[in-house]
Homo-oligomer: A and B are copies of this chain.
Amino acid sequence: MLRRSFVSIIAAGALAALSLAAAAQAQTDPLPSWNEGAAKQAIVDFVAAVTAEGGSDYVAPDDRIATFDNDGTLWSEQPIYVQLAFALDRVKAMAPDHPEWKDKEPFKSVLAGDMKGVAASGKKGVAEIIAATHAGMTTEDFEKIVLDWITTAKNPETGMLSKAMIYQPMLEVIDYLKANDFDVFIVSGGGIEFMRPWTDTTYGIAPPNVVGSSIKMKYEVTDKGPVIMRLGELNFIDDGPGKPVGIQSHIGKRPIAAFGNSDGDFQMLEWTTTGPAKTLGMIVHHDDAAREFAYDRDSHVGKLDKAMDAAPKAGWHLISMKDDWKQVFPDE
């Protein structure tokens, strides 16, 4: 009896310690960079509802799919998309090997820093720039080129590293969802192979969980062994109505949570939030000119118009960068 009572005391003590630890953990704010408010509450309430076993809104872990747009939702997209800056930089870096570009549009305008001239070259011009800078090399070589570039690339307006202009509050949402057994994906209009080299270290989202636009590829066996060549032909545009298709193609499940910031995310939000389960749709609204950029309906990049109009009726929550976020970038 003496021995049993000691065991009981020790066991009771251990249990008490465990309970205290659990309580402390539960009280730790999973979203410390968010101000208290409707947006933060919507996230916390949604996660509580779909993870409450036995609750009417419970969703099994396998079906907890969350999708995030990248440009403007996870990192800054102003004054130009980071991938466009990459393409322009590549044209400049590659120019010595292409003397003919001096007299050939759209390269002539790129080299002259004439963005209006680039814009005037239209879709055809952009396609030529993409083909020249994103194709004609192996997937491994392209990965190295992207990694080298992103390590030092700076935002032309802020002078900050592009990969430092990621949103701390969104990193917290990603971690919070993952901690609650969500499978978290990027679903971006950007190039899938442009994102994959750095999304894992930057956001904690690994290559298999990245969905994006793509060019065609071809398997080839060379003198140096097998390679996958990147071809100068568009394969898939993961934007607008392409996003639900990209989601179905890559994930094969309908998300229950989607985060975007522009009209290019409209259909992803619509497809997600009209599903049969409890769902969450959120839009990052860039209304913070002081700490980031302020733009919406009239922006040439990340235009938010139709989706903002649809938000109230669709039940999509707007996230005000100005009011909902204590902090924008991790290094502030």
User: Which positions in A face B, CB cutoff 8 Å?
Assistant: 3, 6-7, 10, 62, 139, 183, 192-193, 196, 200, 206-210, 214, 217-219, 221, 225-226, 228, 241-245, 248-253, 267, 270-271, 274
Among A200, A208, A221, max chain B CB count under 10 A is at A208
How far apart sit A241 and B193, CA to CA, in the bound complex (Å)?
19
Do the beta carbons of A208 and B192 come within 8 Å of each other?
no
| Closest 8 pairs (CB-CB, A-B) | A207-B252, A219-B241, A219-B244, A196-B252, A6-B6, A217-B245, A208-B251, A225-B274
Do the beta carbons of B217 and A248 come within 8 Å of each other?
yes
**Residues of A contacting B: mostly:** helix
How far apart sit A241 and B214, CA to CA, in the bound complex (Å)?
18
Chain B residues near A208 (CB, 8 Å)?
A: 183, 208-209, 250-253
How far apart sit A252 and B241, CA to CA, in the bound complex (Å)?
23
How far apart sit A299 and B267, CA to CA, in the bound complex (Å)?
46
How far apart sit A105 and B7, CA to CA, in the bound complex (Å)?
80
Q: Which of these, B214, B219, B252, B274, contacts A267 with CB under 8 Å?
A: B219
How far apart sit A330 and B249, CA to CA, in the bound complex (Å)?
31
Do the beta carbons of A249 and B217 come within 8 Å of each other?
yes
A96 to chain B, nearest CB (A): 30
Chain B residues near A271 (CB, 8 Å)?
A: 219, 226, 228
A218-B241, A226-B270 given as contacts; is B252 within 8 A of A193 (CB)? yes
Chain B residues near A241 (CB, 8 Å)?
A: 218-219
Nearest B residue to A252, CB-CB: B207
A268 to chain B, nearest CB (A): 9
Nearest B residue to A230, CB-CB: B248
Q: Which of these, B3, B62, B242, contacts A206 with CB under 8 Å?
A: B62
Do the beta carbons of B207 and A228 come within 8 Å of each other?
no
Q: Which of these, B3, B192, B219, B274, contacts A252 with CB under 8 Å?
A: B192
How far apart sit A180 and B277, CA to CA, in the bound complex (Å)?
33
How far apart sit A250 and B236, CA to CA, in the bound complex (Å)?
13
Do the beta carbons of B270 and A214 come within 8 Å of each other?
no
Do the beta carbons of B62 and A214 come within 8 Å of each other?
no
Nearest B residue to A253, CB-CB: B207
How far apart sit A209 and B208, CA to CA, in the bound complex (Å)?
9
Nearest B residue to A216, CB-CB: B245
Q: A139-B248, A218-B245, A228-B245 are in contact. List 14 more A-B contacts (CB 8 A).
A: A6-B7, A183-B208, A192-B249, A193-B252, A208-B208, A208-B209, A210-B252, A219-B243, A219-B245, A226-B270, A226-B274, A228-B244, A228-B248, A250-B250
Do the beta carbons of A267 and B10 come within 8 Å of each other?
no
How far apart sit A7 and B218, CA to CA, in the bound complex (Å)?
64
Nearest B residue to A211, CB-CB: B250
